[in-house]
Amino acid sequence: MRKKQEGTPSGLSDRTSDIILVILCLFIMILVAYPLYYVLVASVSNPYDVYAGKTFILPSQFTMDGYKAVFSDNSILIGYWNSIKYTVIGTIFSVVMVYLTAYPLSVKELPGRKVISIFFIITMYFSGGLIPTYLIVKQTGLINNMWALFLPGGVAVGNMIIVRNYFEHSIPGEMIEAAEIDGASKWRTFYKIVVPLSKPIMAVMVVFSMVAYWNDWFTALIYLTGQSKAPLPLVLRNILIKSSASASQASTISGGYAELNKLTEMIKFGSIIVAAAPMLIIYPFVQKYFEKGMMAGAVKG
């Protein structure tokens, strides 16, 4: 990052261009943030006002009915719980897999290291495609089993390479040497020294996997056919894309079709916010980690 330069810029042109730049950046920020802001405002407004164009800047007839409906909708709650479950288990599983693969492959003297590395890297470039993979998942009995989300893509090779590079370059070899001189086995060295010393890259991996699992729905669409197993994005598909009110909503409404319609619209806005919020709240706090991870990934290329 460039520090603010010493002395003031010479002449007006620099100051002018600074101002133009700041205005441009503000404009871009608004352009990016406004769609989300609009949904947020709409989610607490009366839907008729939203469709009349009265909620561009501030909510109109403030109401939390949309959120009440979202949180009393069983399918959304189940989806939410499923998403949390899949994200937690998936993240743990994939970070463990990445570590189990990256460490042995970072030990330069391991016989066959090169062959094993190529074995993994090939899968980055070639795949069996949708159907052959689907048929194998089916044959291994994972249809409608949440492990179908984790096992097939469990070894994230790109992440593995980032972690392996970190092990090779950022963990002092002397420490590993010292541990082994003291008679520690490779496994002991791994979990007593390498794992604790690699916390920064572990954070990156946790963030990457977390975002991926929270937002994933395609894998679930293919492999999890039961309604009760659907993660949140799949539940949202019914609400947002197929635009159908769920049965539990319809039964709770007494005001007829118009009332139901109004509620359906409010649920749309509310569920967008509810689904997007967790990651949007978390990411600013972990920004430096994923920036680091992206850079590590770019360096490897």
Partner 1 sequence: MYFISTKRCNVSLRAETNVGKEGIMSKSNSAIAVTGKKRAGHHVKDYWQLYLMLLIPVVLTIIYKYIPMYGIQIAFRDYKATRGMFGSEFVGLKWFERFFRAPNCVRMIRNTILLSLFSLLWSFPIPIILALMINQLRFQKFKRTVQTVLYAPHFISTMVVCGMLRVFLSPSGGLINLIAGTQIDFLSEASAFRTIYIASGIWQDAGWGIIVYMATLANIDISHYEAAKIDGASMFQRIRFIDFPELIPQIVLMLIMSAGNLMNVGFEKVFLLQTDLNKATSDVISVYVYQQGIENAKYSYSTAVGLFNTVVNIILLLIVNRLAKKLSEDVSFV
Q: Return the residues of window 197-226 that contact partner 1 according to CB under 8 A.
A: 211, 214-218, 222
Residue closer to partner 1, measured from CB, 52 or 64:
52
In whole angstroms, the minimum distance from the beta carbon of 23 to partner 1 comes to 11
- The residues in 73-102 that bind partner 1, with binding defined as CB under 8 A, are 97, 100-101
Residue 105 CA to residue 287 CA, distance in Å, equals 28
| Amino acid residing at 198 | S
Indicate which single residue of 33, 58, 64, 247 sits in contact with partner 1 (rule: CB under 8 A): 33
CA distance 190 to 46: 57
Minimum distance from CB of 110 to partner 1 (Å)? 6
Binds partner 1 (CB under 8 A): choice among 61, 74, 127, 228: 127
Query: Site for partner 1 (CB under 8 A): which residue of 70, 234, 263, 267?
Result: 234
Cβ closer to partner 1: 166 or 190?
190
Both tokens of 74, joined, read: 């069983």
The interface region with partner 1, picked from 62-70, 149-157, 197-205, 254-262 by CB under 8 A, is 149-157
Residue among 63, 84, 85, 134 that touches partner 1 (CB under 8 A): 134
Q: Is 236 in the site for partner 1 (CB under 8 A)?
A: yes
- Smaller CB separation from partner 1, 97 or 193: 97
Among 115, 118, 183, 257, binds partner 1 (CB under 8 A): 183
Is residue 151 a contact point for partner 1 (CB under 8 A)?
yes
Q: Cβ of residue 66: shortest distance to partner 1, in angstroms?
A: 13
Residues 269-298 that bind partner 1 (CB under 8 A): 269, 271-272, 275-276, 279-280, 283-284, 287, 291, 294-295, 298
| Interaction of residue 229 with partner 1, rule CB under 8 A | no
Nearer to partner 1, 50 or 254 (CB): 50
Distance CA 182, CA 1 (A): 42
* Residue closer to partner 1, measured from CB, 254 or 280: 280
Complete DSSP assignment for the chain: -PPPPSSPPSSHHHHHHHHHHHHHHHHHHHHHHHHHHHHHHHHTS-HHHHHTT--SSS-SS---HHHHHHHH-HHHHHHHHHHHHHHHHHHHHHHHHHHHHHHHHH-TT-TTHHHHHHHHHHHHH----HHHHHHHHHHTT-TT-THHHHSTT-S-HHHHHHHHHHHHHHS-HHHHHHHHHTT--HHHHIIIIIHHHTHHHHHHHHHHHHHHHHH--HHHHHH--SGGG--HHHHHIIIIIS----HHHHHH--SHHHHHHHHHHHHHHHHHHHHHHHHHHHHHHHHHHHHHHHHHHHHH-
Interface pick for partner 1 out of 40, 77, 143, 155 (rule CB under 8 A): 155
233: contact with partner 1 by CB under 8 A: yes
